[in-house]
Each structure stands twice: as structure tokens, then as C-alpha cells.
Amino acid sequence: MREFFMKTLKTLAFAAIALIGASTGANAAEAFLATDDFVGISFWLISMGMLAATAFFFMEQANVSTQWRKSVNVAGLVTGIAFIHYMYMRAVWVETGDTPTVYRYIDWLITVPLQLVEFYLILAAVRKVPTGIFWRILIGSIVMLVGGYAGEAGFINAMLGFIIGMAGWIYILYEIFSGEAGKSMAKSGNKSLVTAFSALRMIVTVGWAIYPLGYVFGYLTGGIDANSLNVIYNLADFVNKIAFGLIIWSCAVANSSKRA
């Protein structure tokens, strides 16, 4: 009975995602993707990658032990939310040639906190952790994104937006390396948690560095155009959302087979 219910729920969830995807594609009749629109093509490729990753994570949650399900589901939420935003961003780009900054930041505003919550969730899956970790990382991510958005949208000086954004990011790095989150990880004594936590931390350090670099070239030095900035952000999202989820999934699988 329960299994039947879960199956039905899953089918419904996929149908809803497919419907949303189809409806956002309705305008495509007005402007199809041009064969030489490589930025548009990158939006399409990444949309499909996000969809595939979402299906994968949602189905895999059934294969991990209970305390890991939440983490794997959240990985699926991140790529699912990004999938929908990518459908919209692709439409804005293909039909108007404009940079879809608003959609991008709305996506980040939801997915970045969800990803950072993963640090808390994977810790909580193996040991008791103070909820303060969760709140501090959340606030850091909001400061980072509000600063970046205000700068990109021209509400404040681009340099000021960058400084505020950097402060938020550096605070997050502090928390996961030297703060309570980092210390909790070190104390856990769980090998696959330590491996996963360290890999996620590398993504937040190296993978995430692509965004401020894109911002610097796009808004501060004026070295690149809107095309390149979109491709840079797109590639970064692809790695940082899908690889991030895969690391969590593999940690969950490793801990589940050992019934840790």
C-alpha cells in the first residue's frame, strides 16, 4: 500500500514537472533556437541535464537508508528548481537576447540556501548538530546573493555589490572550514561523511569561485560581454548543482550499504 502510494506520488511529481516544462516551452513557436546561438544551446543542454539529474535523485532516494533520504531529496529539489528556471531563462535569452538576471537570482536565492542546508543535513544524518549552523549559513548565503543582485541590477554600485557578496561568501567558507560546521564534521569519525563534506567544501570554494570571477569580468573590468557571462554562469550551475548532488548521493549510498 505504502509502496503504491509512493509510486503514484512520484508519477504525479514527474507529470507536474513535465507539464511546467511544456508550458514554459509554449512560446518557442515564436522564436526557435538558432543553430549558431551557442549561449541559447547551453541553456537548453543544461535544462535537460537538470531534468535528468532531478529524475535520478528522486528515484535514488528509495535506495538509501532513511536518515539519508532527506539529503538526496534536497539534491533533487535543487536540480528540479533549476530545471524550471532554466526553461524560463532559455526562453528569455532565445526570444529577446537579454540576460535573464532576475530568473537567475531567483533560482540562486532558492537553490543556494538549499545546497548549503545540505551541509547541515549530512551532518545531522550521522550525529547531533546545533541548528545555529543552519541559520548562520543561511544568512551568509542571503547576504551574498542580495549584494550580488543589487550590484548586477544596478540598484547599487557594482563594486559595492561585489564587496557585500564576497563578505557573504567568505563567511560561508569560514563556517564550513573553521566554524562549528567544520568542527562537527571533524568530530564525526564517519569516513564517508568526511569525504563527502570535504568534496562539497571544495565545490563551494573552487566551483563557486567561478561566479564572482564572472561578476568581476562582466561588471568590474568590462572584459567580457553578456554572451560569455551567461555561458560562464551556465557552466558553473551545471557543475555546482549536479556534481554537488552526486557527491551527496554517493555518500548516502556508501553509508546505506554499510547500514551506518
Ligand X SMILES: *C/C=C(C)/C=C/C=C(C)/C=C/C1=C(C)CCCC1(C)C
Instruction: Please give the residue ranges that form the binding site for ligand X (CB under 6 A).
Output: 108, 111-112, 144-145, 148, 162, 165-166, 169, 208, 211-212, 215, 237, 240-241
Cell numbers 562537527: residue? 184
Q: In the bound complex, what is the minimum distance in angstroms from residue 50's beta carbon to ligand X?
A: 10
- The smaller minimum CB distance to ligand X, of residues 192 and 240, is found at 240
Show the cell assigned to 198.
Answer: 570535504
Q: Which is nearer to ligand X, 134 or 169 (CB)?
A: 169
Widest CA span in the chain: 60
- Look-up: residue for cell 542571503? 142
Contact yes or no for 217/87 (Cβ under 8 A): no
Cβ distance to ligand X smaller for residue 83 or 215: 215
Q: Which is nearer to ligand X, 68 or 108 (CB)?
A: 108
- C-alpha distances (whole Å) from 119 to each of 91, 129, 193, 225, 247 are 33, 11, 10, 35, 12
CB of 149 to ligand X, least distance (A): 7
| Nearest-approach distance from CB 125 to ligand X, in angstroms | 21
CA 52 centroid distance within chain: 15
**Rounded to whole angstroms, how far apart are CA atoms 91 and 238?**
18
Q: Which residue is nearest to ligand X (CB)?
A: 148
Nearest C-alpha neighbor of 241 from the set 70, 18, 94, 52: 52
Cβ atoms of 233 and 46 within 8 Å: the answer is: no
Nearer to ligand X, 80 or 165 (CB): 165
Smallest gap from Cβ 102 to ligand X, in A, equals 14
Q: How far is the CB of 216 from ligand X (least distance, A)?
A: 8
CB of 115 to ligand X, least distance (A): 6
Q: Residue 40 corresponds to which cell in the numbers above?
A: 541559447
